[in-house]
């Protein structure tokens, strides 16, 4: 399977942005009213994860358009490392869009 690098980066950026949104929602649900709660360090780590995912999504989406359209990448080996079927489909350009499927979470 082969795709243009800029398309792969766009897919990765979308995945990172989606994960940032999911972690932000989780953070909002878990945030204690008392900032001195014992689990505050875990919540701060979750906040760092959310911010990092968001920054990486922006970074990848910004560099993608700078790559010439003629640059393709063979994805077979990389896709074989992804054990979540829907994610592998999205990154491989299979048309299975995030949020458009019957499943947005694969349990294992």
pLDDT, tens digit, for every residue of 39-93?
Answer: 788 888 899 999 999 999 999 999 999 999 899 999 999 999 999 999 999 999 8
Q: Please tell me the number of Cα atoms within 13 Å of 103 on its side-chain side.
A: 9
The whole-angstrom separation of Cα 4 and Cα 12 is 13
Mean pLDDT for the stretch of residues 16-26: 95
Residue 72's DSSP bridge partners are 4
- Model's pTM, two decimal places? 0.79
The whole-angstrom separation of Cα 60 and Cα 34 is 36
**Do residues 40 and 48 make contact, with C-beta atoms less than 8 angstroms apart?**
no
The whole-angstrom separation of Cα 31 and Cα 101 is 30
Specify the DSSP class assigned to residue 38. T
């Amino acid at each position: 399977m082969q795709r243009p690098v800029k398309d792969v980066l766009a897919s990765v950026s979308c995945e990172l942005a989606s994960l940032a949104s999911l972690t932000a929602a989780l953070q909002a649900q878990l945030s204690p009213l008392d900032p001195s709660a014992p689990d505050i360090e875990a919540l701060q780590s979750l906040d760092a994860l959310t911010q990092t995912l968001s920054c990486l999504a922006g970074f990848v989406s910004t560099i993608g358009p700078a790559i010439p359209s003629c640059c393709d990448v063979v994805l077979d080996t990389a896709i074989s490392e992804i054990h979540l079927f829907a994610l592998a489909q999205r990154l491989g350009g299979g048309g299975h869009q995030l949020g458009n499927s019957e499943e947005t979470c694969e349990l294992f």
